With several copies, the nearest count.
Chain A
Amino acid sequence: MIEVLYFAWVRERIGLPRESIETQAATVADLVAELRAREDRYDMAFSDVSALRVALDQELAGFDAPLAGVREVAFFPPMTGG
């Protein structure tokens, strides 16, 4: 069981801020593939991962990062603070 969070337009496209997902995905990329296969809104949100960033347990990571031991995955566009 993994917590998946969505922010900014990713949240808006998918239509929810977070969900718990049962997955055997080995990497972030595998999880993205699983999500895209679910429904169109996921497929659209993840259609261009170069426009997305991912954090694992609140640390920025790459899409090839392993998910073993990870409790929280967050997807969001590039940050625009300041």
Chain B
Amino acid sequence: MRVQAEPFDVGAELAAFAAGRQDVGAEVSFSGVVRDDGGLAAMEIEHYPGMTEKALAKIEAEAVARWDLKASLVIHRYGRLEPGEKIMMVATAAGHRAEAFEAAQFLMDYLKSRAPFWKKETGADGASWVAAKDADEDALERW
């Protein structure tokens, strides 16, 4: 689990992920990208140093235990990002595909609503905080 201001390389991370393990049959990765819906100049991500790391470690440990993951990875950036930049990524490695997919979705759902990050978007009309979606909170109920 890493919380960092610096960019990361999804391809390089994934190439190194679970390398050499022979009990892994399925690997899933997710990455979130700064999307330009029209006029977005930049995204600023604020976080809560200390709590962020604790929350991510807890979510990751729960996923590893629940789906018997052979490997897992969570990286989340903070600070200023531009459209097209990767915000975060998760990766899961398991024996079979169902577990790898479920665990990655679990990580994402919890990370969205339970890890202390806040996004502020700056566009032509000024800056505004991204509002949490009810759908993201509701997504937790399936787990």
A touches B (Cβ under 8 A): yes
| Contacting pair B118 A82 (CB below 8 A) | no
Is A49 part of the contact surface with B, judged by Cβ < 8 Å? no
Q: List residues of chain A with CB within 8 A of the CB of B136.
A: 80
CA distance A11 to B120 in the complex (A): 13
| Contacting pair B114 A76 (CB below 8 A) | no
Taking a contact as CB atoms closer than 8 A, the residue among B48, B87, B132 that contacts A78 in the complex is: B132
| Contacting pair A7 B119 (CB below 8 A) | no
| Contacting pair B130 A55 (CB below 8 A) | no
| Contacting pair B118 A7 (CB below 8 A) | yes
Q: A7-B116, A8-B118, A55-B48 are in contact. Are A78 and B137 (CB under 8 A)?
A: yes
Q: Whose C-beta in chain A lies nearest to the C-beta of B44?
A: A8
CA distance A30 to B119 in the complex (A): 29
Is B93 part of the contact surface with A, judged by Cβ < 8 Å? no
Q: List residues of chain B with CB within 8 A of the CB of A58.
A: 48, 50-51, 54-55
Question: In the complex, how many residues of chain A place their beta carbon closer than 8 angstroms to a beta carbon of chain B?
Answer: 17
Q: Closest Cβ of chain B: how far from A24's Cβ, in Å?
A: 25
Q: Whose C-beta in chain A lies nearest to the C-beta of B112?
A: A82
CA distance A5 to B52 in the complex (A): 14
Q: List residues of chain B with CB within 8 A of the CB of A77.
A: 118, 129, 132
Which of chain B's residues 65-124 have a Cβ closer than 8 Å to chain A? Answer: 76, 87-88, 97, 108, 111-120
Render A1-39 as a binary contact track against B, CB cut-off 8 A, 1 for contact.
000010111010000000000000000000000000000
